[in-house]
Structure formats: C-alpha cells, structure tokens
Structure 1
Amino acid sequence: MENKTSKYLKYAIGEIFLVVIGIIIALQINNWNEQRKLKFDEQEALVNIKEDFTYNKKLLLDVINESEETMQSSLVMLNYTGKKPKPEREQYFDSLVNKVITSPYYYPRNGFLDDLINSGNLSIFRSVDLRNRLSSWKPLIDRVQARYVGLRDYQDGLINYIIEHGSWLNADAMMTFERDIEFPESGFDVDNRTMLLDLKFENMIENNAIYLDNYRGELINAQKLLDSILALIDGQMGTTQ
C-alpha cells in the first residue's frame, strides 16, 4: 500500500507539474502575442502621427514665412513715416497697406493625437520622451492661437484706422492677383501716403510689428517642438526592442 501510495503521489505531482508547465507556456505565448500586438499598434500609431505632423510642419513653415513677410512690410513702412522721404509710387505703398494686416492662421491637424489623448492611449508609445513632447504640443498650440487672437484684435483697430483715414479701395486695387475682382480707383481725391504723416499711424504700425514678432516667436517654438517630435518618431519607427 505504501508503494502504491508513493507511486500515486509521484504520478499526481508529475501531472500537476505538467499542468503548471502548460499554464506557464500558455501565459508566455499569450504575453508574446500581446506584446507583438502592442508593438504593431505602436508602429501603426507612429505612422499616423508622423503623417499628421509632417503635414503640420509644412503648414507651419508656410505660416512662419508669411508672418515674416508681413512683419517686414510693417518695418519697411516705418522707413517712410513723419519727415522721412515718402514712397515715390502710391501703388507701392497701397500694396504695403494690404500686406501689413495679413495674418496667416496656423491650424494644425491633430485628430489622431486628440483621439489618443482623449482615450487615454498615449501610453501606446514606449518612449517617455515622445509621450511628454506629444503632451506638450496642444498647450503650445493654444499659446500660438492666443497670440494670433491678440494680433487679429489689434489689427482690427488698424483696419478701422485705415477705413477712417485712407482708401481701402485703392489698397485693394493692388491685390487683384489674390482675387477675381478688379477694383477701380477711389472716386475721392485721396492718397494713402498721407497717413504716413500721422504719429498715431506710425505707432500703430510699430505695435503691429511687435504683435507679429510675438506671434512668430510662438510659431518658432512650435517648429522646434514639432521637429523634435518628428525626430523621435523616426527613431521609434521600425524598432522591435
């Protein structure tokens, strides 16, 4: 009986051992499959994020360049104020008038990133640095847009000044390449260059350049963060570690 009992115990222990081994192997296979799925999902997410941020970079560079051109137009205009020599051609000055109130708006494509953040799935990215930088993107864009709102509010005042002291009709007549409308000259005896003799106009143009520079500064900060995000994405794409 003792021998039989011993054999049964050994057999039972062996069976238990095999069951435990089977469970461990099954768990390992399940864990391997889960890790493989997570890596696949991460790579897919990286592709989608890169596509959005590559688009965002192209758009951002265009907005930065246009903001720079608008700011430079304001600075050029300041070279003609007060007692300084005036532009020889009124048409040239009218083109500047139109340019100084041009404010390109930056509206990046953040749909996929928003979905990840709102669903709490930003942790799909193994890189902590990438997660942190992606989390910083939206707050930075909020600051960019706040700068834009301040700029537009200020430029509304500049537009109203020009409405009261100059001719938008003459200024718009110089922008036919951007519109399908061909404007005639104003029916009033007006020369927009007379605004250059007003100290208030000089101050408004100078402040306009300041607002534009502040806006451009935030755009450049966004460019730096965007470039770092794209670099981290490239470093993570295709990795299996």
Structure 2
Amino acid sequence: MVDNKTGKYLIYALSEILLVVVGILIALQIEGWKEEKENNEKTKVILGQILTELEHNVLSGVNNIIGFNKKDSLMKQVLDRKLAYQDYAESDELRSLITSYYWLELYNSAYQKLMAHQEKLDPTYIVLTEQIVNLYSTTMYRVQEEYAQIGDNVDRAVKHMSMNCPWYSNTLPQHMDQQIEYMLSDPIYFNMVKSMKGIGGENFLKNMIDFNHEAIDVYKAIHKKLGLNTPYPEVVDRIKDYPESVLNEYEGIYTFGNKSHELQVKFGKLGNHTEQNWIYFTEPDRAEYLYEIDLIEFIRNEDSLITGFEYTYRGEKQYWSKVD
C-alpha cells in the first residue's frame, strides 16, 4: 500500500517537473521568437538608414565626378600648352586649378551600425551584407585614399607657391599678371599639374565612378530586399536595369578609326552595365560612362537594327560601327 502511494507521488512529482520544464522551454522559445523578430526589425531599420546614407553618398559622388572631370579636361589643356593668357585671366578656376578641390563627404554611420549588429543578422541577409561590406570597406576606402592624396597634393602646391612665388598673397593686377605668366611657363607648375591630373583626374575619378555605380547597385538590392514600393530617388533611378532579352541586341564588336580601335560590348549579370567597359544605360539606346559627360547613343537603320553608336567624348563625337 505504501509502495503504491509512493509510486503515485513520484509520478505526480515527475509530471509537475515535466510541466515546469515544458513551460520553461516554451517561454524560451517565445523569447527567442521575440528576440529574432526584434533583430529583424532592427536590421530593416538599419538598412533603411543605409539607403538614406547611400543616396547622400551617390549625390556627393556625382558632384565630384562632374567637378573633377572638368578639372581633368582643364589640366590636359594646360599640359598640352593649349591655353593662353586670356584663358587664365577670365577663369578663377584655372588659376586655382591645383590649389583647390571639391568637398567630398561620404557617410558611413549606418554601415557602422550594421557591422555592430552583424552577429544578430538573419542568414538570409548574408549575401546582401557581403555586398554592403565590399562597397564600404573596399570601394569607398579606395575613394577616400585617393581623395586624401588630392588633399596632400593641394597642400604641397600651396606650400610651394607661398614659399617661392611673391605674387601668391597679393591681389593687385600686376600680381595676377605674374601669376598667369608663372602658370604659362614654369616647369615645376606643369609637373604639379601632371601629378594632380594623375591622382585626381584619373585615379580618383575612376574610383569615384566605380563607387557610385556600385552604390546604386547596392541601393537597389537593399530596396528589393526590404520589399519597398517607393520609387528610387532620381540620382539612383537614372541608371536603368534591363533584362537580357533587351541587352542582347547591343552586344557585339564595334570599331572606330578605320578599324584601328575595337570595342567588345558584353553585359554582365547585373543587367545594367558592360563587364569590361562600364557602359551604363540611362534609357533605351542611350548610355553613358561619365555621368552625362561621356555619352553613347546607339544608331539603328531603317529595319531598326543597331548599326553602331555615336560616342561623345568631352564634346568630341566619334562614330563606332558594329561589325559583329
């Protein structure tokens, strides 16, 4: 009789313990679901902040691309000795060509938040996060490195002129004459222009273009991941994404200058730019390389087949024929 009561008591006690354990496990599971939901919500908030950050960075990049492309064109004219006294006299920008540069401010505070939150990211965000990390830690880093070198070059030019050119701190007409004569003839000045052109007009400009286009791709990937129905901002929407069925007819071999130059147009998986030549479409039959500076317009015959394209390179037009 005692043994029977003891057995019932043990069964009862074990049942109570089991209920407590199950309750704890359910509570932990609910807490886990709650934490996962909060983490996902926080991830979405941070990604939304990165969208805002990218829009600012792309716009800042556009301003620098346009500005430094203009500087690059002017520096080429300086080095080719194509400028005269009157050109300098009428242009403050020419006279400050290597002693000033455009302001660039690339934000990364939202990206830093994402990195601090990285261990709590849902696995479905891994690929997107890798894209974002590459943009900020690699492409943006190159831009910032080149931009810092531009600043160093400007500092060296200012220091050289302030120490060696009596006219530097004066504003009288005769001092401007001395400044222009210096810029038209001094070999050290030409060397400084060449150095600035290599860093700012070529290296920085290329990396800034790469950053902007990659940032636009990342913006669109985040926008899609978040399932947003809002339209892209204008600075993002100007680069179009077309399906393979549309891009196929643009691919082929194009030649210029009695076939002395050859270009293969072949599009990558992203569906908006070529794999090697970084041609981006802004609308059907129209593409660009340097943000409305170097423009490409594809030409069609009466049968609506592409026969070539007209390439406007810094104001000069080239016609490229499609041969394949």
Quote the residue 1:151 is aligned against: 150
Matched, 1:122 2:118: yes
Cα deviations across residues 95-121 of structure 1 (Å, max 9, x unaligned)? 42224443224222222333554xx32
Cα separation, 2, equivalents of 1:22 and 1:123: 28
- Between the aligned residues of both structures, percent identity stands at 23
Quote the residue 2:46 is aligned against: 45
Residue 101 of structure 2 is aligned with which of 79, 103, 106? Answer: 103
- Aligned residues of 1:140 and 1:222 also touching (Cα < 8 A): yes
Q: Which runs of 5+ in 1 are unaligned?
A: 171-182
Structure 1 outlier segments of 4+, above 6 Å? none
SS of equivalent residue, structure 1 residue 146? helix
Greater fraction of residues in helix:
1
Q: Which moved more, 1:157-166 or 1:194-203?
A: 157-166
Cα separation, 2, equivalents of 1:203 and 1:131: 43
In structure 2, give the amino acid aligned to 1:71.
D
Cα separation, 2, equivalents of 1:184 and 1:97: 15
- Aligned residues of 2:60 and 2:106 also touching (Cα < 8 A): yes
Residue 210 of structure 2 is aligned with which of 209, 221, 225? Answer: 221
- Aligned residues of 1:165 and 1:195 also touching (Cα < 8 A): no
Quote the residue 2:263 is aligned against: none
1:46-85 pair list within 5 angstroms: 46-79=47-80, 81=81
SS of equivalent residue, structure 1 residue 112? helix
Instruction: Report the Cα offset of residue 74 of structure 1.
Output: 0.8
Cα separation, 2, equivalents of 1:22 and 1:232: 41
Greater fraction of residues in strand:
2
- Aligned residues of 1:162 and 1:168 also touching (Cα < 8 A): yes
* TM-score calculated relative to the size of structure 2: 0.55
Cα separation, 2, equivalents of 1:85 and 1:161: 22
Quote the residue 2:23 is aligned against: 22
Instruction: Report the Cα offset of residue 160 of structure 1.
Output: 5.3
Judging changes above 3 Å, is the alpha-carbon distance between structure 1 residues 87 and 234 closer, same or farther for their aligned structure 2 residues? Answer: same
Judging changes above 3 Å, is the alpha-carbon distance between structure 1 residues 186 and 90 closer, same or farther for their aligned structure 2 residues? Answer: same
Root-mean-square deviation (CA, aligned residues, Å) is 3.6
Cα separation, 1, equivalents of 2:178 and 2:31: 81
Instruction: Report the Cα offset of residue 10 of structure 1.
Output: 5.5
Quote the residue 1:180 is aligned against: none
* TM-score calculated relative to the size of structure 1: 0.70
SS of equivalent residue, structure 1 residue 37? helix
Q: Which has the larger Rg? A: 1
Q: In the comparison of the two structures, how many residue pairs are matched?
A: 222
Higher RCO, Cα 8 Å, sep 6+: 1
Cα separation, 2, equivalents of 1:14 and 1:187: 99
